[in-house]
Amino acid sequence: MAKDVIIACDFSSAEATLNFLDKFPEGTKPFVKIGMELFYSAGPDIVRQIKKRGHKIFLDLKLHDIPNTVKKTMQVLASLDIDMTNVHAAGTIDMMKAAIEGLTRADGTRPLLIAVTQLTSTSEERMQKELLINATIGETIAQYAFNAKSAGLDGVVCSPLEASIVKKRCGEGFCAVTPGIRFADSAADDQVRITSPAKAREIGSDYIVVGRPVTASEDPVAAYNRCVREFLGK
Ligand code: C5P
C-alpha cells in the first residue's frame, strides 16, 4: 500500500486554492484533497485544473444516496480522472457495490474508493440515542469497515486512533485514511482526537489528511515537508 500525505485544500475559491499551490516548488506536487466547500463553489473545473498541474486528487464528497444515483454520479467523477473518492458506509453494501461499478473505467482501472464509517463528530451517546444504533462506536466502525471491505472498497476514513480497530477487523492491506493530524508542538484547533504524523505512522495510517497545520502555516512548504519527513521517514 502506497503511503502519502494529503493536503486538505479547504479554501472557498479556485483562486485561493491555486495561489496556495503556487507556493510549492516546480518538482513538489502534493496529493490534494478537494472537499465539498471547494467543489460546490468552484465546480469540476478546479479538479481538472489541479490535475493538469500534476497533483493526485482525493475528491471528498462523501456520497450517500440510492445505489443507482451513486453509480451514475461515480461515472461522472471517474471521468474527472481523480485518484481517490469516498461514500458513506451507512448507504449499505449494495450502494457501495454500485459506487465501485460506476467508478470502474472501461479499461478496468478505477480511483481508490474509501468509506466514511461514523463521522468523528458523532459521539457514541448521540449515535445510540438519535440513530438508535445499539452498539459501541468501536463496534459500529469495525462493522461498517467490514461492510466496505465486503463490497470491495479499498479502505475507510477514520481517526488515527481507530486505525487499529479497522486493521484488526479488515486486515493490514485495508487502507486507513486519517485526518486529525497535528504536530506535537502546534495548536489542536477544533480537532479533539489528534495525533502527530510520526504517531500516525506508528499506528498504521496509510494516508494522513492534513489541513490547517499546512494551509494556515506561515511557511506551508516547510510544514508539508515536515509532515512528509515525520510520516514517511524521508
Ligand atoms: O485543518 P484540519 O487538519 O483539521 O483538516 C482536516 C480535514 O479532514 C478537513 O478537510 C476535514 O473536513 C476532514 N475530516 C476530518 N475528520 C473526519 C473526516 C474528514 O477532519 N472525520
The x, y and z cell numbers of residue 8, run together, are: 486538505
Q: Does residue 187 carry a pLDDT above 90?
A: no
The x, y and z cell numbers of residue 198, run together, are: 510520526
CA of 209 to the centre of ligand 1 (A): 7
pLDDT value, residue 74: 98
Task: Provide the domain limits for residue 136.
Answer: 4-232
CA of 61 to the centre of ligand 1 (A): 12
**Into how many domains does the chain fold?**
1
> Residues 65-94: pLDDT tens digits?
999 999 999 999 999 999 999 999 999 999
**Considering only CA atoms, which of 88, 79, 33 is closest in space to residue 224?**
33
CA 193 to chain centre: 16
pLDDT value, residue 122: 87
> Residues 97-113: pLDDT tens digits?
999 999 999 999 999 99
| pTM of the model as a whole | 0.95
> Residues 108-153: pLDDT tens digits?
999 999 999 988 888 899 999 999 999 999 999 999 999 999 999 9
Catalytic residue check, 62: yes
Distance CA(92)–CA(69), nearest Å, equals 14
Residue 157 is inside which H or E element, if any?
Answer: strand 155-157
Q: At 85, which CATH number? A: 3.20.20.70
Residue indicated by cell numbers 479499461:
107
Overall average pLDDT of the 162-176 stretch: 95
% pLDDT > 90, the chain: 87
Residue 8 is inside which H or E element, if any?
Answer: strand 4-8
CA of 157 to the centre of ligand 1 (A): 10
* Given 3, 29, 51, 62, the catalytic residue: 62
> Residues 26-51: pLDDT tens digits?
999 999 999 999 999 999 999 999 99
Pocket of ligand 1 (CB under 6 A): 8, 10, 35, 119-120, 157, 179-181, 189, 191, 209-213
